[in-house]
Structure 1
Amino acid sequence: MGEPQIVNRGDQQTVHNTNMYALQKGKENLAVTSEEMQIFLGINMIMGYIRYPKARMYWSSEDGLRLGIIADAMSVNRFEQILSYLHFVDNYTYEPENTDRLFKVRPVLSTLQKTFLATADPEEFHSIDEQMIPFKGQLSIKQYIPKKPKPWGVKVWVRAGSSGYVYRFEVYQGSANRGHSSGLRMAGDVVMRLCDDKKHKNHKVFFDNFFSSIPLLEALKDLGIYGTGTCRANRVKGASQKLKSEKQLTQEGRGACSVVSTNGNITITRWLDSSVIHLASTCAGQSPEDTAKRWLKKKKKKKISVQRPFSVALYNQHMGGVDLVDQCVAMYPHRRRNKRWYIRVFFHFLDVTVVNVWRLYLMSGLEKMNLLIFKASVACALINAGSLQQNRRGRPSGTPPPAKRRTVTKVPSEVRFSTANHWPKLTQVKNANRCHDAACTWKTKYHVALCPGCFANFHIA
């Protein structure tokens, strides 16, 4: 619904740089317009939820394959031209001392950062986690995370609300481009950068044990931000000796809990579930406890009730914001293979933008709509808007629009190789067609586009 406006904010720059890149590559007459760019983006959205093995199948002459909303909006050759020259910066503005490895897609990322923050009212609960943009080609910032569904790709740090709306993100560029260090390790610095717009607003942030540490929670608290995260046993400082040992918790049984507070009012919770976990928080502790249902390992068909600390319940409730974004993006992703990494990054964030707009739509209180229907409506809106603006250009013509080019149909095999009724017939077409015989290169006006001398060869099986 709001997608065309979001796209329009940066499409003028994208159109300019695409035409500039084509000119630099020797393509002088590309002349992409903003209207064509809207149609191009809409087509790519449709390709995310209607998947064909090959892109050209959307323009197939076969009735069972051809997709009219795509094929009627733009020709396949024009689509491939725009895709091959799609660019977001002028390459000649690159300076050797520029260490930004995301230079080729930086304008898009900067625009989205501002748009995501300005469009939605901030939620109280946020989570920070990593996200992967699948890519297996050669790239210096490519990462490998074995536990991810797509282990190879570009890593992105994301801060999302518990609703699944993305507020902030930062593409990881490697250890050489970490930016300012605050002494909280690389992961702690990421959290501080992603939360620098939430100072003294009493927001709650959740993260896993990759980020969590006692110094990080203290630094966030100094900024008026409450933090909660699972914590590794070697990061709880001296609290480990004050807590009950794992052996004691095991003896007490599943659901046993031990809590201690540090001098900085940070609560450390050691809780026994299927294994022992540690949780550190500046806003939650053991009380009020509730119960959680768990399966018994030995009796899989039986559930038991387990006592659960409040900090664990709060963490489980609000930690899944980034995972929710990943789930929505993975439902209808843009997965067309492309050797240019920045094109993959662009289309990934286009998918994230659609999910964000969908979340805003749901928050507005309007009639509920699932993501597929919403994405389809956005894609159609882009294509229709671009087509209407193209048709309105220039002086209105009093002559009817030119007739569409006749679709060339193949002659069925049973007709082609039958033994009767193959008589040459001269048609009244204006332009001659190329002879259907593979061995002939002439053009003819005979039906079915065959030279008189090629009839025998064409109808012999």
Structure 2
Amino acid sequence: MQILMGINQLPDYSFYWSNNKYLGNQGFKEVMSVKRYEKLNQYIHCNDIETDVPVDQPGHDKLHKIRPLIDSSLQNFAARYNPNKNQAIDEAMVAYKGRSVAKQYIPSKPTKWGFKVWMSYFTSIPLLQDLLSNGIYGCGTIRQNRKGFPQDLKNAPRMQTGQFVGRQTDNMVGVVWMDKKPVNVVASNESLIEVDTTNRRQKDGTNARVTRPRVVTNYQENFRGVDISDQLRAKYSIGRPSKKWWKYLMNFIIDLCIVNSFIVKAETEVPQVARTKKRYRQLDFRINLSTQLIGNFARLRTPAPPMRPRASHAHLKLGRKRSTCKLCTKTGEKKRKTTQMGCEKCDKHLCSAECHNTFHVNIGIGVVTEE
């Protein structure tokens, strides 16, 4: 249901159970009541709070509330996917403005307040050397003040767009390329002498071909993997606003599981089958996934009490709230009498057997009352 809420977004969850035909969701109403949904959201947990180590003791885990979900997700991500040749490493932000020691403020990010989730490491010379020793080539942007970055590249001269300077030692290459501003790249998968060209828009609106090192080209062609994942996640993200910080991270991980599942399906689909069908979108995947997860589940409905045959103008207790006696109010008594007793067949409240008989005599029905 949360997945479907990410697709069909309404300003308040209660609208999904609305009687308004343009807002209410009949499927949600059949799965569970709104009160049941509220209770599940109120009491949902990912870990046993009794096992949490206090803050002032060794072994305290700031993410204890969602640790099992993190561990099982990481385990499944590694076990269910064989990486391709080019893998992107980056960071992601989970938007949150509440109170939490893990919250960060990064003014340069589109999402300025929230939790920084590492799908990456900072690019560094030792990191690329370590990857290369394990047979893995690497490429990434780097800050000029990084330890190990050549000193003469840190103080690179002012250049025109398309110009670059670089240094190479064995497989390690460092480049400063002038685009609109300097781009610093280190890599172990390209040679310094290989170059190509790319288009850049000029101030007068025309396009011009500028020189670009192949090491920069390789980076720009493959660096957007995490960005694409963020785009897929943000398009139909699950979750509602909450006061609990850990729910935002829980929803992020669930969304990431959905996106990764969609990517695995897209990459493992048989090409012949894929060509005979229209493009399978993430929207289709989420609809099918939520439909299969709900399955045949339906809310438990309290059976209605068996219908009792109506008595013949019997005086008995009515199954509803108290109300005024219909005879006493007509006879002009100052004292107002309320009762739960009455005639079920006439659907009238009558406070006593005397009122009951008098009422029916007045309307032309002679009855014998039952208590």
TM-score (norm 1): 0.61
Q: 1:219 aligns with which of 124, 130, 142?
A: 130
Question: What is the Cα deviation at residue 431 of structure 1?
Answer: 6.4
1:7-406 matched pairs, under 5 angstroms: 43-96=1-54, 97-159=58-120, 191=121, 211-235=122-146, 237=148, 239-241=150-152, 245-247=156-158, 249-250=159-160, 254-262=161-169, 265-296=171-202, 298-299=203-204, 301-366=205-270, 367=274, 368-387=279-298
Corresponding residue number in structure 1 for 2:312: none
Alignment-mate amino acid for residue 265 of structure 2: Y
Alignment-mate amino acid for residue 13 of structure 2: A
Question: What is the Cα deviation at residue 359 of structure 1?
Answer: 0.6
Q: Secondary structure at the match of 1:153?
A: strand
Structure 1 Cα separation of the partners of residues 118 and 211 of structure 2: 33
Structure with greater helix share of residues: 1
Structure 2 Cα separation of the partners of residues 130 and 242 of structure 1: 26
Q: Residues 443 and 451 of structure 1 are in contact (CA less than 8 Å); yes or no, is this contact kept in structure 2?
A: no
Structure 2 Cα separation of the partners of residues 358 and 88 of structure 1: 24
Structure 1 Cα separation of the partners of residues 132 and 75 of structure 2: 25
Structure 2 Cα separation of the partners of residues 90 and 133 of structure 1: 24
Q: Residues 132 and 153 of structure 1 are in contact (CA less than 8 Å); yes or no, is this contact kept in structure 2?
A: yes
Task: Identify unmatched segments of 5+ residues in structure 1.
Answer: 1-42, 160-190, 192-210, 392-400, 404-429, 436-440, 453-461
* Larger mean Cα displacement after TM superposition, 350-359 or 226-235: 226-235
Q: 1:63 to 1:443 in 2, by over 3 A?
A: farther
Q: Secondary structure at the match of 1:353?
A: helix
Corresponding residue number in structure 1 for 2:328: none
Identity of aligned residues (%): 31
Q: Residues 269 and 285 of structure 1 are in contact (CA less than 8 Å); yes or no, is this contact kept in structure 2?
A: no
Q: Residues 191 and 215 of structure 2 are in contact (CA less than 8 Å); yes or no, is this contact kept in structure 1?
A: yes
Q: 1:126 to 1:443 in 2, by over 3 A?
A: farther
Alignment-mate amino acid for residue 113 of structure 2: W
CA RMSD of aligned residues (A): 3.1
Question: What is the Cα deviation at residue 432 of structure 1?
Answer: 5.1
Q: Per-residue CA shift, 1:15-34, capped at 9, x if unaligned?
A: xxxxxxxxxxxxxxxxxxxx
Q: Per-residue CA shift, 1:362-413, capped at 9, x if unaligned?
A: 11225331111211111111112544xx99xxxxxxxxx957xxxxxxxxxx
Q: Residues 16 and 24 of structure 2 are in contact (CA less than 8 Å); yes or no, is this contact kept in structure 1?
A: yes
Q: Residues 233 and 255 of structure 2 are in contact (CA less than 8 Å); yes or no, is this contact kept in structure 1?
A: yes
Question: What is the Cα deviation at residue 219 of structure 1?
Answer: 2.8
Larger Rg: 2
Q: Residues 243 and 258 of structure 1 are in contact (CA less than 8 Å); yes or no, is this contact kept in structure 2?
A: no
Structure 1 Cα separation of the partners of residues 149 and 218 of structure 2: 25
Structure 1 Cα separation of the partners of residues 133 and 284 of structure 2: 44
